[in-house]
Amino acid sequence: MAQAPQEEAQEEAQEELQDELQDELRTVLWPEGDGTPTRVVSCRHCGLKNRIPVPDAVMTPERIDCGGCSGALFLTREEPFEGLSADAYLHGADRRSLNVLRSVPVVPGLLHSVLRYAGDRPAQLMFLSEAIRCDEEQFPELVALVDLARKRLDFPVKPTVYLGESPHMNALTTGVEEPVVVVRSSLLDQMADDELVAILGHEFGHLHASHPLYRTMASVLLRSGGTAWQPLRLVSLPLHRVFLRWGRAAELTADRAGLLACRSLVTSIRVLLTFAGGNRPGTTDRTKIRMEPFIRQCRELAKIESGQGLDGMLAEQLSMDRTHPHVARRVMHLINWVRYGNYLNILSGDYRRRRPRTY
C-alpha cells in the first residue's frame, strides 16, 4: 500500500536527522587531528586478521569488507547473533552482582515453584487484566518488531507481548519461565521503528541475562528476611540499596543488548535522549536533538563523578535510590563499551555462545 504523503515526509525527516546525528557523533567522538584509532578484527569467513579504523567500524560497519576474501567483516542487520550468550555483553557490575545471586543456596525444585508463583503468575494475571495482548491478529506490526529484535539477538523463547496504556515512555519485561514483554502506548506515539527495535532489544537483554529470575529471587529474599544468608548480611549497605545498585547495572547490560539489536549507536543514543525529553512529536524543531552538546554534557558529568571531592559523592548520592541510571550516565557507558569494550568483536561474530539453561 502506498504511504501517505505525511508519513513519507516524516520518514524523510527522520533519515535526514539520523545522517546529521551520525556526522555529529563521529566528529565529537573522534575529532580530526587526534589520529584514527584502529583495531584488529578477525574475518569470520576466512580467518584473516584485518586492521580497521574504529570510527568507520562503529558508524558504518556495513561498509567494511575483509581484505582477504572480500566478505562482510561485520554481521549485517539481517544476520542474527546465533547462539549469543548474555555473558558476552554483561556489564561488569551486573556480572559481579549476578555471581552473588547465583551462589544463593536454594533447592532447585523449590526455587522453581516459588519463582513461578512469585514472578510469572501474578504478572501474567495482571497484564491479562489491564493490558491488550498482541498477536498476529492484534497489533501485528508491533509483534513483528518484537520478533525482529528477538531474532537479531537470537533469543530462543517467544514472549507474550502486551500493549499497555501509559503516558510514561517505557517498556518492561517479566516472567521467569514464560517471558512477557509489555510496551507502553506512548512509545508507539513517539518512537520510529528502529528506535523501538533498540528498546525491545533492551528488554530481550533483560530476559537473556535472566534478570527477571534474579529480580524475583531478590524480592523473595528481601521479603523473607534474606539477610540471614551470610554473604548478603556482610554487605554494609541496606539490602534494598544493594539490589537497586544491581538493578542499575542490569540496565547498562540491557542497553548493550538494545544496541546489538538495532546495531546503530546513533539510534541507541537517540532513544535515550528522547527519554530525557528530546525530539517531541509536534515540536521536533524546538526539541531537535543535537549530539555534540549532549556528549559534552555527559563528559562533564563523568568528570564530576570520577572526582574525589564533594561533587563526586553528591553525584553518587543522587542515583542511590533510583531503579535506572541517569540518562547521561547510560550514554557514556554505551559509548565507552563501543569504543573500548567488545562491541566490535561481537559485531564481527566473535562472542561467547550460550549453554542450555540449567534452572
Closest CB 257 distance from Zn ion, rounded Å: 9
Under rule CB under 5 A, residue 320 binds Zn ion:
no
Quote the Cα angle for 7-13-19, to 5°: 140
Under rule CB under 5 A, residue 46 binds Zn ion:
yes
Under rule CB under 5 A, residue 43 binds Zn ion:
yes
Closest CB 12 distance from Zn ion, rounded Å: 31
Nearer to Zn ion among residue 69 and residue 125 (C-beta)? 69
Q: Which of 45, 77, 288, 354 binds Zn ion (CB under 5 A)?
A: 45
Helical ranges in the chain per DSSP H? 5-29, 54-59, 92-102, 108-115, 121-130, 140-153, 185-190, 193-208, 211-223, 230-233, 239-262, 265-275, 291-306, 310-319, 327-340, 343-347
Closest CB 71 distance from Zn ion, rounded Å: 5
Long-range contacts of 179-186 (CB under 8 A, 24+ apart): 179/207, 179/212, 180/123, 180/124, 180/127, 181/146, 181/207, 182/127, 182/131, 183/142, 183/146
Nearer to Zn ion among residue 196 and residue 232 (C-beta)? 196
Cα 38 to Cα 32, 58, 65, 358: the distances in Å are 14, 11, 15, 39
Under rule CB under 5 A, residue 254 binds Zn ion:
yes
Closest CB 228 distance from Zn ion, rounded Å: 30
Under rule CB under 5 A, residue 171 binds Zn ion:
no
Nearer to Zn ion among residue 26 and residue 248 (C-beta)? 248
- Interface stretch with Zn ion, choices 17-25, 46-54, 132-140, 295-303 (CB under 5 A): 46-54
CB-CB contact of 39 with 350 (8 Å): no
Under rule CB under 5 A, residue 68 binds Zn ion:
yes
Closest CB 15 distance from Zn ion, rounded Å: 28
Pairing mode, strands 160-164 and 180-184: parallel
Pairing mode, strands 171-174 and 180-184: antiparallel
Q: Which of 66, 134, 176, 209 binds Zn ion (CB under 5 A)?
A: 66
Nearer to Zn ion among residue 13 and residue 46 (C-beta)? 46
Binding mask 70-109 toward Zn ion (x if CB under 5 A, else -) reads: -x--------------------------------------
Residue 291 CA to residue 270 CA, distance in Å, equals 9
Under rule CB under 5 A, residue 322 binds Zn ion:
no
- Interface stretch with Zn ion, choices 44-52, 77-85, 269-277, 315-323 (CB under 5 A): 44-52
Helix axis angle for 92-102 and 239-262, nearest 10°, is: 120
By CB under 5 A, name the binding residues for Zn ion. 43, 45-46, 48, 66, 68-69, 71, 251, 254
